[in-house]
Chains A and B, each alone.
Chain A
Amino acid sequence: MLINFESRWTRIAPTASIPPREGRAVTVAGAELAIFNLGERFVTISNQCPHQGGPLCDGIVSGAVVVCPLHGWRFDLNTGLAVRASLPACVETYPTRVEDGIILVDVAAARRIEPNEAVA
């Protein structure tokens, strides 16, 4: 295993390790992430469903939305925001890119869009 001191980007795995429209869990720098293969691109969110901690990596992918396998909460993979949830909720998203067939995630750049409670 290599230890990366310079870049903020962490090399995760070859793209082939995640089949299309599926997700996989990975732990990077103490954070448990779920990476999804959306066909034309890869996206990363935190793996824990804010509802009851369900593993989002195991959810069914519907376009750019993942459905938690435990109770069906839905999260937009682009923004991390819960879709049509009974309560406003969100998960972190992480910048993700592919280079030379390897998926890279920028763990330090976690982004969290707080759901606007006034709207919900």
Chain B
Amino acid sequence: MKQLVVVGNGMAGVACVEQILKHHPDFEITIFGDETHVNYNRILLSSVLAGEKSPEEIVLNSEDWYRDNGIRARLGVRIERIDRARRLAIDSTGAETPYGKLILATGSTAFVPPIPGAGKKNVHVFRTLDDTRELIAKSRSGLKAVVIGGGLLGLEAARGLQLRGCHVSVVHLMDTLMERQLDRPAGELLRRKIEDLGIRVLLPRQTQALLGNGRVDGVKFASGEEIEADLVVIAAGIKPNAWLARESGLEVRRGILVNDYLETSDPDIFAVGECTEHRGQTFGLVAPLMEQGKVLAATITGRRGPVFTGAAPAAKLKIMGVEIFSAGAVDASEPGVEVVRYEDPSLGIYKKLLVKDNRLHGVILVGDTSDDRRYTQWLREETDLAPHRRHLLFPPPAADSGLEVAEMPGSFVVCGCNGVNKDDIVHAIHEHGINTLAELKDRTRASSSCGSCSGLCEQLLRAVAPEFEEETRTTLCACLPFSYEQLREIVRGQQLKSVQEVLNVYGNRKGCEVCKPALSYMLDMLWCGRHDEDRSARFINDRVHANIQKDGTFSVVPRMRGGVTSPAELRRIADVAEKYNVPMVKVTGSQRIDLLGVKKSDLPRVWADLGMPSGQAYTKGVRMVKTCVGTEFCRFGVQDSTRAGIELEHRLENLFTPHKVKMGVVGCPRNCAEATVKDIGMVGQDGSWQVVVGGAAGKSVRKADLLITVETTAEALDACELFFQYYRENANYLERTYDFVERLGIEAIRKATVYSTDAEKRKLLERLRKSKAIAKDAWLERDTPANPTQFVQIEPLETTCS
């Protein structure tokens, strides 16, 4: 068996090994990596910095992969020298590893310009997982961070630091951002978008020195200007890591010279990835490296034939809400180049195509990168654009959803990161019976790197897979592509205080009827009133505190705690019903009375005449506590359920919840008020209470789970509150307690509430009290409306004669 030694455990090296394995080679493979980690997705480091992904989530090849494929991984070991005469790779421990063939995949290193002070403390580069971890450890809310370099990596680093709460400035030597990929208008639009995120952009600034005594505290520019800095990240570019090749006497210019077969000047040594220089070009983006890997895999396994002919440069910025794509040439002044352009300043969209000899020569997209794949394909295949001339900037509308898939040729590269084309995917779907995106990722690696082709993969699955299953959606909606958990972290971490702010920074600015009410709830819950309430983001019921009916009128349900009322209250209800011609008065299933068919404009007066608080029957909030008469009158009652129920309602009323919360308290296990099918229930027994949660008697019927058994009413009420607040903080919006309890499991919920430490319990209850302290009866808006036309219909200032 031949010894194959791979120097470098990064994306290019390992991807190449994966390709080699496909040829079932007769190799014993050893991979050396000077980082101590298994192969991870370097492209996603900015997502790790931003807190959107954990380091574990960006692992591409787990330890199992190395083991299963019989690969020896020497991690944290650096090759110091190659003895080409004796065919030995000599590592930092002095050990010698013999090789038959050797692949150099040493990647690149961060380029640090010779700036005085670059060695100071808190000056970092952003290149590896360890760099990222250090940055995460150092960054904290309120810190002033300066990123030197306004290229792709610098901007992503800036956004990551900002999402960790830092005040970030980006300084760049040139007068436009990403000037190598963008023209001036695109760069200008990008600057605006970055500034809109709240990042300061300083252009053009030549950094002269990093200031500070040992630890950096400022940045000085050539103009003499100085700015403060607690943390500096240098992202001025990368350079091929070619010293090992140079020391070993291989031909090296900027990078290790390779030919179209990825062979170096030594017939047994090959190179792949960012360390290479091919036809005068060096590389910094992943797609061409995958291409190189395929070619080298063929060459090294004795199937020399496929060639790598270079790749048009392509770059895509991965900052949510700032879509940038650039590929091919940027310079429009070349002779014979035509420009096709579209611009919508208010939408922040800019598209520019350079066309030469009826072939795509370059493309810049800002604000809308949905067609990037089409352009990449055109560039790579030098497609004749004549038949597409009318649809260069916008694809022709597709009436059937499978059309896009049907139009794709089999060789169409769906996943640029991993080089997977349409045929590969269709083939895999049939061969392995794939029906989900997860299986597809697993089998083909398509969409497993940057994930930007997942939509396309889903379309392919939908069109091809016999039993396609949509993934259960974890993101809120298309406006805001994050999970609830991520959003809670974002809102908390970024101190975002209004729905519009969240949408502007993280979403599509517009929002919709799904995300707006969800965000409204989240802000209310997290900030306990210290947020800007936005009525326009709430459903009509929450704008006017009544339940809209099919004819546009509203229903009014006053709070009747524990279902207990009085003759005086009943008289007032009767009077109101008559005075406002209420078409229907109905006793509800919640032991309350519903006045149906009230006009919006009558609401404030109806509430005033009732003189009772809102029953929140219109909202995702605390509905009622249904009770039985318990020990007070019932001859079987063993607990005072009426009093306990009224107390529970007092404690929780006026609060908002992820979905409605219905409660019940019963004085004996006969369960007359049906506490065991309520979201929260208390079931009285002789000398104790059972607190039960997650019951339902609606669309689904579910018997509540026992949370805990306690002896006193006070303890039972506390247990109800603990669960209530835990549900408020951790459920997804519109998730009822019965789904919540099933999703988390009652054991986990017990651990997090009644069985958690006293300190944790205290914290939960303190947050509940904080929210409760500012929660008010919404019907008081009858006296202080949120806006002058909250309830009244507008009367025109004049009438027309038509």
Contacts and interface: CB of A to CB of B under 8 A. Distances in A.
A60 B539 CA distance: 6
Interface residues of B, number: 35
Interface in B523-553: 534-540, 543, 548, 550-552
Interface in B481-539: 508-513, 516-517, 534-539
A53 B551 contact: yes
A72 B513 contact: yes
B409 interface: no
A47 to B, nearest CB: 9
B499 to A, nearest CB: 10
B796 interface: yes
Contact of B799 (A3, A13, A24): A3
Interface string B465-481: 00000000000000100
Contacts of B787: 19
B797 A102 contact: yes
Contacts of A62: 479, 510-513, 516
B797 A2 contact: yes
Contacts of B95: none
A5 B801 contact: yes
Most buried by B among A1, A5, A58: A58
Contacts of A17: 788-789, 794
B443 to A, nearest CB: 33
B333 interface: no
Contacts of B551: 53
B540 A29 contact: no
Contacts of B794: 12-13, 17-18, 24-26, 35
Interface string A90-120: 0000000000001000011000000000010
Interface in B258-289: none
A68 B704 CA distance: 35
Nearest to A119: B399
A62 B515 CA distance: 10
Contacts of A58: 540, 543, 548, 552
Interface string B781-802: 0000001110001111111111
A82 interface: no
Contacts of A63: 508-510
Given A58-B548, A60-B516, A72-B513, A1 B536 contact: no
Interface in A17-75: 17-22, 24-29, 35, 52-55, 58-63, 65, 67, 69-70, 72
B798 A3 contact: yes
Nearest to A64: B510
A29 B512 contact: no
B89 to A, nearest CB: 59
Given A60-B512, A62-B510, A62-B512, A11 B796 contact: yes
Nearest to A5: B801
A4 interface: yes
A10 interface: yes
Nearest to B517: A60
Contacts of B800: 3-4, 8, 10, 28-29, 107-108
Contacts of A21: 534, 536-537
Given A4-B801, A19-B535, A60-B539, A67 B793 contact: no
Contact of B796 (A10, A20, A67, A119): A10
Nearest to A12: B796
B509 to A, nearest CB: 8
Contacts of B550: 52, 70
B333 to A, nearest CB: 37
Contact of A18 (B399, B511, B789, B799): B789
Contact of B789 (A8, A24, A54, A70): A24
A52 B798 CA distance: 30
Contacts of B511: 62
Nearest to A71: B550
Contacts of B510: 62-63, 65
B600 to A, nearest CB: 8
B534 to A, nearest CB: 8
Most A-side CB within 10 Å, residue of B479, B788, B800: B800
Interface in B753-802: 787-789, 793-802
A28 B540 contact: no
A60 B796 contact: no
B797 A53 contact: no
Contact of A4 (B512, B538, B799): B799
A66 to B, nearest CB: 10
Given A19-B787, A63-B510, A29 B535 contact: no
Given A13-B796, A35-B794, A108-B802, A69 B536 contact: no
Nearest to A69: B540
A60 B543 CA distance: 10
Nearest to A58: B540
A107 B478 CA distance: 36
Given A2-B798, A2-B799, A35-B794, 9 more contacts: A3-B799, A4-B801, A17-B788, A19-B787, A26-B794, A28-B796, A28-B799, A63-B509, A108-B802
27 contacts: A1-B797, A1-B798, A3-B798, A3-B800, A4-B799, A10-B796, A10-B798, A13-B794, A13-B797, A18-B794, A19-B787, A20-B536, A21-B536, A24-B793, A25-B793, A25-B794, A26-B795, A28-B799, A52-B550, A55-B548, A58-B548, A60-B512, A60-B517, A60-B536, A60-B539, A62-B511, A70-B550
In the A-B complex, the 4 residue pairs with the closest CB atoms: A63-B510, A21-B536, A58-B540, A2-B798
